[in-house]
Amino acid sequence: MGDGLDPFSFGFLVRAFTVLFALGLAYISFEAWRRRGRSLLLLVSIAFLAYLARDIIRLTEIVYPQTVSPIIVSMTDILDLVTLVLIFFAVARDESEKKWR
């Protein structure tokens, strides 16, 4: 092959960085919840964990493409839904807290 960037390596690097970034965001939001005790931050932390789990599954699809199955694809779709639902509840809860202040 030439001197160009291999798309497989680039895809792996991007997904690996995304996994690490999601892990960092989950940790930061969990620590913020632990210090402040706001349920909104706990919901955001769980949403980041769901996103992290989804990205780990998708990272394994790159590393072990032979393990891809419809069940795994369905799990990532369910984790996408869980992430969006948790973010929605976090935003809705924050808005309801603002009304009571």
Q: Cα torsion at 99, 47, 18, 29 (round to 10°)?
A: 60
Stretch 41-52: mean pLDDT: 93
pLDDT at residue 39, as a whole number: 85
Higher-pLDDT residue of 46, 93: 46
Stretch 46-62: mean pLDDT: 88
Higher-pLDDT residue of 16, 7: 16
pLDDT at residue 2, as a whole number: 47
DSSP letter string, 15-59:
HHHHHHHHHHHHHHHHHHHHHH--HHHHHHHHHHHHHHHHHHHHH
Q: How far apart are CA 55 and CA 41, in angstroms?
A: 21
Q: What is the pTM for the complete model shown?
A: 0.76
Who contacts 11 (Cβ-Cβ below 8 Å, separation ≥6)?
Answer: 62
Mean of per-residue pLDDT scores for the chain? 83
Nearest to 58 by CA among 26, 24, 16, 6: 16
Locate the domains of the chain by residue range: 7-99
